[in-house]
Homo-oligomer: A and B are copies of this chain.
Amino acid sequence: MMMPNVDIAARVYNHRWKIDPIVRSLLDTDFYKLLMCQSVFRNKPDTNVTFQLINRTKSVPLAEIVDEVELREQLDQVRNLRLTRGESTWLRGNTFYGKRQMFRPDFMEWLENVQLPEYELSKKDGQYELRFEGKWPEVMLWEIPALAIIMELRSRAVTKDMGRFELQVLYARAMTRVWEKITELNKLPDLKIADFGTRRRHSYLWQDWCVQAMGEGLGHAPDGKFIGTSNCLIAMRRDLEAIGTNAHELPMVYAALADTDEELKQAPYRVLADWHEEHDGNLRIILPDTYGTKGFLEGAPDWLAGWTGIRVDSGDPVENTEIAIKWWKDRGEDPTQKLVIFSDGLDEKKIEELYNKFNGRVKVSFGWGTLLTNDFRGLVDGNGLDPLSLVCKAVEAEGRPTVKLSDNPAKAMGPADEIERYKRVFGVGEQERVEVFV
């Protein structure tokens, strides 16, 4: 008398896949990758770069947990993806940050035909070594899918022997936790917050759930507090704003390409000069910490103080925001009109603390990542589903190593001698070490 609760067509469709693909679309990536890709495509299309996946959580031996065959299948499947017509139409026709035709025809034509380059995979000390080499605009597109694949394969491995109801209760608990965080955040009257959780998410479907829960629980901007998601695919499917600006890979590669110390010192500003040409308004967000926030702002040209705001992504966020406020004042800018986007290791308590500290003094906004889309801590025995500090970074450009200092030595990257050189060039002294959690 009742109909079975099964969508036969959907099941048949899913059976067609040899594997259960984690990344099913080239749009299942962060919006800023596409913005940066267009910029690189215009300014540095032929630069050879190497990206590498690095698990900073050494205590989790990923190569023992995640099956290599499955990993290769998932990576191979991403190489089969092409931008679909509907996806291309969305990128071409949509308004991003209030701007039509954000993506230029020549870039779109290239993107419609792009295939992700090959990968090199090996194992060492219980970890995977996963590298991508090639032209920068192609290689950079690997970052998010590679991270999301490893994260989700790890989730699958940990949950694979759980029963159907045990699994349902696992997700019930995780949903309850996310909802409680959202309920707490909803008490902050002027909150503006976005999902930045693609790269280290528990799974695609889970991120999709979290994003929708944010929309219902916080309300959608402009009236509500939820301003959108960094994930292009979810933004397209759920009719949300795609959010994001730029990341460390731009100054890191520009810096590695510098031939002299003076060129090196100017590299981060050249990145933003190129960006200035291309974007305005809320896309003019400074990411100042690649080689130390303090030195970067002190040495910055005046036109940068006219930008809309900064993103605070490492170090002590309070200290760095105070530095930025002082900098704006020194340059004759009104900090209350400036936007500060916090995006480093956020959870609801830290968001509340930063909101209470800075709301009104500046315009605050939050890019909430891993602890939105992957907080399963304590929901299985041991630390089996705890989030990992997994990154996929540009490690070389034209054969030269890249360097990142950031405002936290725990996040520094690069050969020791190069780190010393960069510290000298950028005038970075002693830094406080902050444990990197996610």
Contact = CB atoms under 8 A, between A and B. Distances in A.
Given A166-B216, A172-B175, A5 B10 contact: yes
A9 B1 contact: no
A429 interface: no
A92 to B, nearest CB: 18
Nearest to A25: B1
A163 interface: yes
22 contacts: A1-B25, A1-B84, A2-B24, A3-B9, A3-B10, A3-B13, A4-B10, A5-B7, A5-B10, A165-B179, A165-B212, A165-B216, A165-B217, A166-B179, A166-B217, A168-B175, A168-B213, A169-B176, A171-B172, A172-B173, A172-B179, A173-B176
Contacts of A187: none
Interface in A399-437: none
Contacts of A175: 168-169, 172
Nearest to A180: B169
The quantity of this chain's copies bound in the complex is: 2
Chain A binding surface, main DSSP class: helix
A164 interface: yes
A6 interface: yes
Nearest to A215: B165
A24 B2 CA distance: 9
A179 B166 CA distance: 8
Nearest to A178: B169
Interface string A149-183: 00000000000000111101101110110010000
Contacts of A10: 3-5
A409 to B, nearest CB: 40
A212 B163 CA distance: 11
Interface in A121-170: 163-166, 168-169
Nearest to A87: B1
Contacts of A216: 163-166
